[in-house]
Chains A and B, each alone.
Chain A
Amino acid sequence: MRDSLIRGGGLLAVGAYAAFIGWLYQAQPRTFAQVRGGLAASVGAYHVDDQSFADGVRFFRRDQFPEARAAFARADSAERDPKTQFYIAYAYYRQGWGRFYNSDALFAPGLVAVNKAIALAPGGRLTVDDPDLQMHSADELKAELERGLTRDASDFNPLRVFRKRK
């Protein structure tokens, strides 16, 4: 009886440990905060820090984008919340947008963040109801960031200077 318990418990323990290692291979977390957040999210116990998120939105609306990203990163330290990742991507977009040219150095991490938001959103569909934003879905933001990173003939169109930041 005792042997059976040990053997059964061993199977469960080894299965859980193997699942954790498999998750590490799949999720590739870069910090211990991400490991903790990922594990918490897997049991539905992960929460964004509301105060830091509110700070981030406030900075974002004042066009203080580095400050906004810092606050959003603090709010979602494990990078598990699609809405926060969307705002981070939007902050990169607005900071990198230019009337004459866009900053690839800011659009590229923005694209990474929006892809992360899409991957985290249920069914890959994410919409944010914020009247301050002109793009409410992650798909629009992703397309805008990808357009900004693409080089084509339309980049030399002089009418580009009249376009507006979204």
Chain B
Amino acid sequence: MSATREALVVPLIFLTVTLVGGLHPGTPTLMTAPSEFALVLACLLVGVLVRSGGLAPERLLRSTRPPLENANGAVVLVTLFAASAQVLTVLTPDSGVPLLLFDAFLLVLLANTLITAPDRDRALRSLLVIFGSAFILKFAVLASLSSLDGGRMRKVLVALFDAATLGTVSQEQLPAGSGYLAFLAIALFMIGTAALPGVTRQTKEATELQPFTGRSTDV
């Protein structure tokens, strides 16, 4: 991984995700911090990246690297975690039953991806599908169920739906442009994730050979 990519490009991409993902323009609270559950999900997401080989932490932080390089590596890991938490918060509805279902949905999907330990490409594709489907559910399906724009008939149907579900499904109206910001955050996050230093063939072989060498010496 080049110095420019490690010290500048990747951390700036992840910080931009943290900024864009937290923005709520046109609301009293401009920036929203990630929820506590999003922090748990972010741990799983980083775990998925490490397990799949999409992220090799030993290429960012190890004792043989100079302190400055280790500092850059630590910044990459911290910003990755912050961006993960923010992206997952953006994709989660704000309240009600959808919040509970989305959190469960993301937890199960990420845990499943972590356990199956796919390779890097499959893990990235899987993340793209998870983020894409959560985006469509929140910003297309749920937003249209909660939107009061449109004709009288639509308003009546929304009110009926709200009454039938005891108000547990409909959400606060999303601020204008929030869907675009979320889309940008997801796109940047995927670019940043693809740019992370992954496991190379050499490091993989070295890791795989290490236990065997140790055992043979003991014998």
Chain A residues near B (Cβ < 8 Å)? 3-4, 6-11, 13-14, 17-18, 21, 24-25, 28-30
A2–chain B nearest beta-carbon distance, Å: 8
B193–chain A nearest beta-carbon distance, Å: 17
By the criterion of a CB under 8 Å from any partner CB, how many residues of chain B are at the interface?
22
Q: Does B166 contact A (CB under 8 A)?
A: no
In the complex, besides A4-B68, A7-B3, A8-B68, 14 extra interface pairs with C-beta distance below 8 angstroms are A3-B3, A10-B4, A10-B8, A10-B75, A11-B68, A11-B75, A14-B8, A17-B15, A18-B79, A21-B19, A24-B22, A24-B30, A28-B29, A29-B30
8 example contacts (A-B, Cβ-Cβ < 8 A) are as follows A7-B69, A10-B8, A11-B71, A17-B12, A18-B79, A21-B18, A24-B30, A24-B31
Q: Does B39 contact A (CB under 8 A)?
A: no
User: Is B4 a contact of A6 with CB atoms below 8 Å?
Assistant: yes
Which residues of chain A are near B178, meaning CB under 8 Å? none
| Cα distance A10–B29 in the bound complex, in angstroms | 30
Known: A7-B3, A28-B30. A13 touches B71 (CB 8 A): no
Chain B residues near A (Cβ < 8 Å)? 3-4, 6-8, 11-12, 15, 18-19, 22, 28-31, 33, 68-69, 71-72, 75, 79
B60–chain A nearest beta-carbon distance, Å: 12
User: Is B8 a contact of A6 with CB atoms below 8 Å?
Assistant: yes
User: Is A10 a contact of B31 with CB atoms below 8 Å?
Assistant: no
Which residues of chain A are near B30, meaning CB under 8 Å? 24, 28-30
| Cα distance A25–B12 in the bound complex, in angstroms | 17
